[in-house]
Structure 1
Amino acid sequence: MLTADEIARGRAVLEREGKLSERSLFPTVMLVEPDKDAVRAFTPGDALERRVLFVVLEADTGVSTEYVVALQDDAIVDERVVPSDTFPYGQPPYTLEEFMVVEDIVKASPEWQTAMRRRGLEDRMDLAYCTPLAPGYFGYEDEIGRRMVRSLTFLRDFDHDNAWAHPVEGLLATVNLTTGEVVSLQDEGDVPTAAPSANYDAESIGEVRKSLKPIEITQPEGPSFSVDGGEVEWQNWKFRVGFNSREGLVLNQLTFTDGDDERPVLYRGSVPEMVVPYGDTSRNRYWISYFDAGEYHLGKNANSLALGCDCLGVIHYFDGVVADDHGRPAVIPQVVCMHEEDAGVLWKHTEMGYKPDVRRQRRLVISYFATVGNYDYGFYWYLYLDGSIEVEAKATGLVFTGSGEPGAEDPHRLEISPGLFAPVHQHLFCARLDVEIDGPDNFVDEVDVVGIPKGDRNPYGNAFTWERRRIETEGGRLADGLKGRTWHIGSATRTNYVGKPTEYQLIPEGLPVLMADPDSTVHARANFAAKHTWVSKYEPGELWPAGDYPNQHAGGAGLPAYTEAGESVDGGDIVLWHVFGPTHLPRTEDWPIMPVDVYRFKLKPNGFFDRNPALDIPDWSAAPAGDSCCHAQGDDEGDDEGGRLPVFGVRTS
């Protein structure tokens, strides 16, 4: 994680060396990941090399340049112009300053004003909202190599009205950000603009229900974790919390202490990209395929979190430091929330004639939220007492809308309010898991559950088994729910006490991957989302599933390029990438604001431990100190010393 001082020092080097102008903008400022061997060998008192990548955009020319500043040398050590005008192109993400001027550019366009008057909307132009949206890539001559956005128009009835409820259908502006002009405006159709109000603030909703009773979460003795700067220890887990402007929350050097042995599990984990492709063929939306990290930066759009609203319980917050549009440090206070929560039963058994043994599960939650346009996304990492890890994405906010004839049927849009339609779309998140199961020498097996035809191998017809296939070379794989497919990441050097490699298994949800046709431009740009799981050989700098600059990129970057050589991944330092998330057919219940949808995958120890690592959890974990949670509803009275019950499972009169 960069500090404010490091960002300021790096920018000062660029300024001193004459690399900045009055029109310089900073779409990206990121820490250059240090060498892994140096990090692994780090001990307190050592100094790691710190380098910062600055991507500087000259707003008046549209030219972007990458500068790498070595902080210890106080010098620029690398400089490269981003080849945005050369195939396959690609632009840095947008800055807030660029977005802020789009509405003024569109509204100043005589063509836009004419289109609004033609529709009888001249009295509503002042309150109109003109969105700044990434344009995708289609090889259009007037867009190639240029810094572009598209803009749709939404109406407001008053200043804080929900504009997404009133989309102006068939009106699309394309804006050149460098020249500050509308280069094309398409105006077609005469669909009435949806009119019903859809405000969801407290004043608009009115009286709220009074039947809901408060829930209080307390930890009288404080939380069970400890924090030292960015390092966290909790119930055998140890890790470092990182945060950056592009991917947001990062967990580094995640280990689990097993007895006296601190065992590595994950060198680095994050969700560095997501794509939101739309399935609507209309002019207003056929081009939509947002890359919310690569085009907008999730971390830079992260929220400051509030107790009682975003997080509940005894909370520890981490601030995030990003660079503003002018390359100066900006702190997002309380951007990462960490707390413990009860997670149900951990394990339980009732032996015949005895009281039950039961323990409560608990998990450590590390999370952040980002708002990108109309959608809000929560990213959650859960660490469990039994060594399991869960990664979760939550989607809420407002669905993207268009107007239509009330009651009309459309194969690509669903009516969510009279005359208001929401297109079918996907949210495909990609997690990057730089695995380190008992060290950096790992392999991956794909494991299926399979039936056996009745015969010599299955004489009674009841048998089934499993099949393991070693993934030998880089590439992508699909989940298969009918086969219960999982991927086992194992150590090539360590075995457990039954002689098998120590492993974790990745358990997918296995929902649909990218639905776009393989010949489409969105498929070329978001090829990472065409598979559920990828395995690649670790290479420094290979961090982004859709490549460094997915904005207006022709495609083929990121995971397709990383794995093209087909290098061996059967042992050695490898990275798993996992795609998960919904294919969304919007509902009326998703309007005017969408209840949270949750999507997740799991990393579960599988032969990593020699036995259940949570046997030592006390039986009062969810009860007052000194109490047991194992009372058998009053049957304690009359029990003998061994805790025997007179009857198991029934009551007698």
Structure 2
Amino acid sequence: MEKTSSMKVTREKHPLDPLTAEELKLTVQILKRDKGLDDHYRFANISLLEPAKSIVLDYRDEEQIKREAFCIILHNQEGKTYEAVVSLTEGSITSWKLIPGVQPSIMADEFMECQEVVKSHPEMIKAFAKRGLTNMDNIMVDPWSAGNFGIEEEVDVRIVRALCYYRTSLYDNGYARPISGLYVLVDLNKMEVIKIVDKGVIPFPPLDGNYTPDQVGDMRQDVKPLEIVQPKGPSFTTEGHVIDWQKWNIRFGFNSREGLVLHTVSYNDDGVQRPILYRASLSEMVVPYGDPTDPVNRNNAFDAGEYGIGMLANSLELGCDCLGEIKYFDANLVDSKGNVIQIKNAICLHEEDFGIGWKHTDWRTGHVEVRRSRRLVLSSISTVGNYEYGFYWYFFQDGTIQFEVKLTGILHTQAIEPDRKHPHGNLVAPQLFAAHHQHFFNMRLDMMVDGMNNSVYEVNTKSMEKGPDNPYGNGFYPVSTLLKNESEAVRDLDLRTARFWKIVNPSKKNRLGEPVGYKLFAGENCFPFAHDDSPLLKRAGFLKHHFWVTPFDPDEQFASGRYPNQHAGGEGLEDWVKADRSIENEDVVVWYNMGHHHITRPEDWPVMPTAYISFILKPTGFFNRNPALDVPPSKAKNSACQVDGHTSCH
């Protein structure tokens, strides 16, 4: 195909706008045209190649910008991985590199193809028949990433472990009847079975484990409608991928690996738009299991790097996933064949009432001042096999930012012989066992607190020695320690000292003469229980500590490294900090791990009530006073709120 001048982007966009469907299609066309890509090539990822910070921060509206796409491409037949950069502005490939010894993430198309390969394999059909299963439509296959356990025959083979389940009908809960004792290894490049492991027949659990209304039984009759009504519409406005709400200005993006990404988050303080974050995203999430028996001992999925959180995003529905006055945004991605796919309503934006923002009652005069809080919610939900993960960014009127993950879905299950138990999990139903496991989320926070150069302090609270200055033994005080280099900033939570971390701008002072800052403090958390020399922690060394800080480097995007799928380890965050670079008064990136420790229970079955895990960024000396003082009183709903003839809640 000859080059044509029409094969380029001419419409101006912001440098951080995600690639449009048109741009994705054009990228594929350019790659096929200039590299002659045939059907043996798969597109593992095509996303915006984000420009340098200087370009983004100096950008002015209507300015001509360079649009580029970053691409990861796999040649199935050769088993080779390539990275390409395509200039959409020029309509040409500007970079094409072979990346040896890596495996791209597992693609959604490969999941479906793998399932059909397993279900049509003659030996698997015999294995199913041995268990009385002849209807292949009722066989469910979950491909799990293989990890890297030093097994020689798996080197340089693009491989998954396929675990199988039996559903009594097409829409029943397949995880209620695991086909335990049987699993298979599949070569995804050749799409063929390479090994079948059959340890013998284990009886199916007797119960269905269904959870849909038509199968559960009588629904509660005392649940009355709960409506969120905003007759004048929401308080936010949007233009493209920019949100203005109250005093917040937020740009966001979306890509196949990280899913929802925040860009250039700032807060308007007395007419000045003050930056807080340049970029924030889920860098990696890891789910290790605590069962040492085969095959669960290899369950340690890297859900972002091995599958792609964005690629697995749901299309959200009003009244179910989101409630109230909703603004939805679609996401455009490509499948492995290069076809553009659109996930409708992948991102949800709305406001929520959040109780009392602040209040005081003067008991002497009876005067009351109270303000209700509301928060802006930007969210997406992804389904990774049996689990659902909701990712929620919250913005509050007082300048607080919170990130929360909501975990639900269905447990990973195994069948177990009658009257048996298992030390590494719990029975959740008769003859149905769910292994204990953990969920770790690594967040990459490219900080920009009132400017590019920031420093990080660790704050620990200490008890005073008892003595003349502390006669009753109640005194305590916080101690702030500057973290000057990367080695000093590899830190863990400590409940005994109420530890938190503070990111400050040394060159900007508040009216009290202190550096302006934001503090990061934790919600639920835990440590991994794997040994340091385990295959898990060789690949996910960043899990060994809760908190890390690095100087900004555009090549350091993912805590697990760029290609964690089947990688032996030794790359990523734990490796980078060995350079022990300076992080004092620098452009810094904070990496924070939060972990959910899941000891399974019967109440988690047949579908798990949502668990919540989060962290908070809260202003500390960033403002001169409470920035939510100007939130207006709410309109009273009854006479109890009337004071001095007024009908508002103050």
Deviates more, 1:473-482 or 1:440-449: 473-482
Residue 93 of structure 2: aligned partner: 76
Which ranges of structure 2 fall in alignment gaps of 5 or more residues? 1-17
> What is the CA–CA distance in structure 2 between the aligned matches of 1:156 and 1:510, rounded to whole Å?
35
- The aligned residue for residue 532 of structure 1 is 546
1:427 corresponds to which residue? 439
In structure 2, relative to structure 1, the CA distance for the partners of 1:322 and 1:583 (3 Å cut) is same
1:565 & 1:406 partners in 2: Cα distance? 55
Aligned partner of residue 377 in structure 1, secondary structure: strand
User: What is the distance in 2 between the residues matched to 1:142 and 1:126?
Assistant: 32
Residue 184, structure 1, aligned to residue 195, structure 2: yes
Which of 124-133 and 47-56 deviates more? 124-133
Q: For 2:555 and 2:261, how far apart are their aligned partners in 1? A: 15
**1:23-422 to 2 correspondences below 5 Å:** 23-84=40-101, 90-118=102-130, 120-123=131-134, 127-351=138-362, 352-422=364-434
TM-score, scaled relative to structure 1: 0.93
Q: Which residue of 2 aligns with 1:441?
A: 453
Give the secondary-structure state (helix, strand or coil) at the position aligned to 1:477: coil
Q: CA deviation at 1:459?
A: 3.7
Q: Which residue of 2 aligns with 1:584?
A: 598
Paired residues in the alignment total 628
Which one-letter code corresponds to 2:491 in the other structure? R
- TM-score normalised according to structure 2 size: 0.93
**1:19-38 per-position Cα deviation (integer Å, ceiling 9, x unaligned):** 41122211111211111011
Q: Counterparts of 1:456 and 1:567 in 2: how far apart (Å)?
A: 44
SS of equivalent to 2:145: coil
Give the corresponding residue for 2:473.
461
**What SS does the corresponding residue of 1:516 show, helix, strand or coil?**
coil
CA distance in 1, matches of 2:609, 2:144: 24
SS of corresponding position for 2:357: strand
Alpha-carbon distance between aligned partners in 2 of 1:107 and 1:223, rounded to the nearest angstrom = 50
Are residues 124 and 564 of structure 1, via their aligned partners in 2, closer, same or farther at CA, if it must alter by over 3 Å? Answer: same
Once the 2 structures are TM-superposed, how far is the Cα of residue 510 of structure 1 from its aligned partner? 5.0
Check whether the contact 1:407–1:415 (CA below 8 A) recurs between aligned residues. no
**Distance (Å, rounded) in 2 between the aligned partners of 1:114 and 1:15:** 42
Supply the AA of the counterpart residue of 2:345: Q
Contact 1:448/1:467 (8 A) holds in 2? yes
Secondary structure of 1:215's partner?
Answer: coil
Deviation (angstroms), 1:236: 0.6
Shift of 1:628: 8.2
- For 1:52 and 1:633, the matched residues in 2 are separated by 57
- Secondary structure at 1:145 match in 2: coil
The more displaced of 306-315 and 472-481 is 472-481
Unaligned 5+ segments in structure 1 are 85-89, 646-653
Whole-Å separation in 1 of the counterparts to 2:387 and 2:419: 26
**Aligned counterparts of 1:129 and 1:195: Cα–Cα separation in 2:** 18
1:12 partner amino acid: Q
Alignment check: 8 A CA contact 2:179 2:204 kept: yes
- Match in the other structure for 2:532: 518
Counterpart in 1 of 2:620?
606
Paired position in structure 2 for 1:651: none
4+ runs deviating over 4 angstroms:
631-634
Partner Cα separation in structure 2 for residue 582 and residue 408 of structure 1 = 27
Given that 1:265 and 1:435 are in contact with CA atoms closer than 8 Å, whether structure 2 keeps it comes out as yes
- CA drift of 1:123 comes to 3.6
Q: What's 1:547 paired with? A: 561
Partner letter of residue 344 of structure 1? Answer: G
Residue 419 of structure 1, CA deviation: 0.3
Q: Bigger shift: 98-107 or 220-229?
A: 98-107
Quick check: 378-387 or 226-235, which moved more?
226-235
- C-alpha RMSD over aligned residues: 1.9
Residue deviations 1:164-216 (CA, integer Å, cap 9, x gap): 11112221211112233322222225432223101212211233111101011
Map Cα deviations across residues 457-505 of structure 1 (whole Å, 9 max, x no partner): 5343221111111111125211112211110000021010000000100
Measured in 1, the distance between the counterparts of 2:597 and 2:609 equals: 16
> 1:307, 1:301 → 2: CA distance?
19
Return the alpha-carbon distance in structure 1 between the equivalents of residues 217 and 77 of structure 2: 49
